[in-house]
Amino acid sequence: MRKQIAAANWKMNLTYQQGSALLQTLVTTEIDLKEHQAAVFAVPFPYLEMAVDTVQHKKNYYIAAQNCSDKKSGAFTGEVSAEMLKSLNVNYCLVGHSERREYFGESNAVLAEKLNICLANGITPVFCCGEALATREQHRQNAYVEGQLKESLFHLSKEALLKVVIAYEPIWAIGTGKTASTEQAQEMHAHIRSVLKNQYGDSIAEQISILYGGSVKASNARELFASKDVDGGLVGGASLIAAEFIEIIKALK
């Protein structure tokens, strides 16, 4: 079975003390994750070391960075390199979240470099893709997401692609309280997998975990995750509430 992942994206929320308390609650809660399941926490940069230390003895719990530089090192004040993340034993890194694309102008070409540098450092990139409301209203969402995949992923070998996680996030459903219907989520996840199949073949595409990210909550997680091609979620606001995220983790297939 494909890896099933409940990924928390804290974004720019919680103080150090609040984040530490939240993780302590989660690691001390009895959740029996199976071998094919994982809980991943994308925390702000200042909390990475604390977070790694907190979850290191919890089976199938991992820490992610929310971003990394596309440069190896150098005079880039304020940036954080993948090599730095590796030195902290960070296992995952979000790449191309819609907020990074929108607010910081990250292009598909820049994201391709970020994927390369994460993989070179043994970090699993969680590659985010998805369309805005206007694109969906024009019925161009499939072509738009396919373009994101082609421009950022298709330079990778089959072996490298197997080390990537994809997260589909309909931008119109992030932080708005709107959620794509289960049918809409499955439809796009199936489309993403078909795009991968066309480029890399059925065997490779069937092994890639594709997460759904768009107002996932405890109340809708189980239904969303039950879909054939939905392999978990990239969770924003609900991941800041221990009771909510615990139920989301338990909803994994």
Buried b (16+ CB within 10 A) or exposed e, 193-231: bebbeebbeeeebeebbbbbbbbbbbebbeebbebebbb
Asked about 36 being catalytic, the answer comes back as: no
Buried b (16+ CB within 10 A) or exposed e, 110-133: bbbbbbbbbbebebbbbbbbbbee
Cβ–Cβ < 8 Å for 70, 110: yes
Asked about 169 being catalytic, the answer comes back as: yes
- How many other CB atoms are found less than 10 A from the CB of residue 41? 26
First to last CA, the chain: 9
Q: Look at residue 8 and give its three-state secondary structure.
A: strand
* DSSP classification of residue 45: G
From 99, 106, 131, 169, active-site residue = 169
From 97, 99, 106, 131, active-site residue = 97
Identity of the amino acid at 72: K
Which residues form the catalytic set? Answer: 97, 169
